[in-house]
Amino acid sequence: MEVYVTQENLEEKAKGWLKEIETFNTHRMELRRERSALLVIDMQRFFLNPTSPTFTCGGLAIIPSLKRLIQAFRDANRPVIYTRHVHHPDKIDAGIMGWWWEGMCIEGSEESEVHGDIEPLPAEKQVLKHRYSAFYDTDLETVLRCLKVEDLVISGIMTNLCCESTA
C-alpha cells in the first residue's frame, strides 16, 4: 500500500494544500491563549495500528508535530483534551456506524487507548464518544464552559470526518 502522507513529506504536502486553498483562506484567526484549549481527536491505537481494518496512515505522520503541539499547550498551562471513539463490546451503541465501519473500537480494549507517544497525563480529560462529533452526546461542551474556553484548536485523526464534524 502506498502511503500518501508520511513524516518525511508532511511539511511539503501541507504547504501544497495551503497553497491550493489560499484564495479561500481569507479569515485570519488570532488565538487567544488565555481562552484556548487543544482537542486531540481519536489518536488511538485502533486507528494507528497498520494491521487494523481502520488504519489511518496520516495519523502516524502527524505524531511528531502533534507531540510538539501538545507540549506547547502544556507549557502554556492550557488544557489538553483527548477524545476516544469507542463502542460497547455488544455494539449496542453502534447504530449506523456499525454498517460503515469494518471493525469497531471496543471501549476498555488496549486498542481504544491513545497512542503511547502522545498519551494523556492523568489529570487531562478524555471524552469517550460514539459518533464522529466530539460534542454529540458527550460532556465536552460542559467541560469547555467550566474551563472558560472560547478558542478550540482541533487536531487529530480523520480531518474529513471527526475533526470536521466536531468543528
Domains in the chain (CATH in brackets) are: 32-166 (3.40.50.850)
Query: What would the mean pLDDT of 4-13 be, rounded to a whole number?
Result: 88
- What cell numbers appear for 111 in the block? 486498542
Q: What is the pLDDT of residue 27?
A: 81
Q: What is the pLDDT of residue 118?
A: 98
Query: What would the mean pLDDT of 128-141 be, rounded to a whole number?
Result: 97
Q: Answer for the pair 106, 89: CB distance below 8 angstroms, yes or no.
A: yes
Helix axes 10-20 and 57-75, enclosed angle (nearest 10): 90
Q: What is the pLDDT of residue 54?
A: 87
Q: What is the pLDDT of residue 41?
A: 98
Q: What is the pLDDT of residue 1?
A: 58
Give the SS3 label for residue 114: strand
Task: For residues 137 and 31, give the distance between their C-alpha atoms in angstroms, rounded to a whole number.
Answer: 27
Exposed/middle/buried for residue 129 (C-beta within 10 Å: 0-12, 13-18, 19+): buried
- What cell numbers appear for 53 in the block? 481494518
Task: For residues 84 and 105, give the distance between their C-alpha atoms in angstroms, rounded to a whole number.
Answer: 9
Query: What would the mean pLDDT of 24-29 be, rounded to a whole number?
Result: 83
Exposed/middle/buried for residue 87 (C-beta within 10 Å: 0-12, 13-18, 19+): buried
Band the pLDDT of 57: cuts 50, 70, 90: confident
Q: What average pLDDT does the structure give for the chain?
A: 93
Phi, psi for residue 22 in degrees, rounded to 5:
-50, -45
Q: Answer for the pair 20, 12: CB distance below 8 angstroms, yes or no.
A: no
Percent of the chain whose predicted confidence (pLDDT) is above 70: 99
Task: For residues 80 and 70, give the distance between their C-alpha atoms in angstroms, rounded to a whole number.
Answer: 7
Q: What is the pLDDT of residue 67?
A: 97
27, 41, 63, 120, 125 from 37: Cα distances, Å: 20, 13, 18, 14, 11
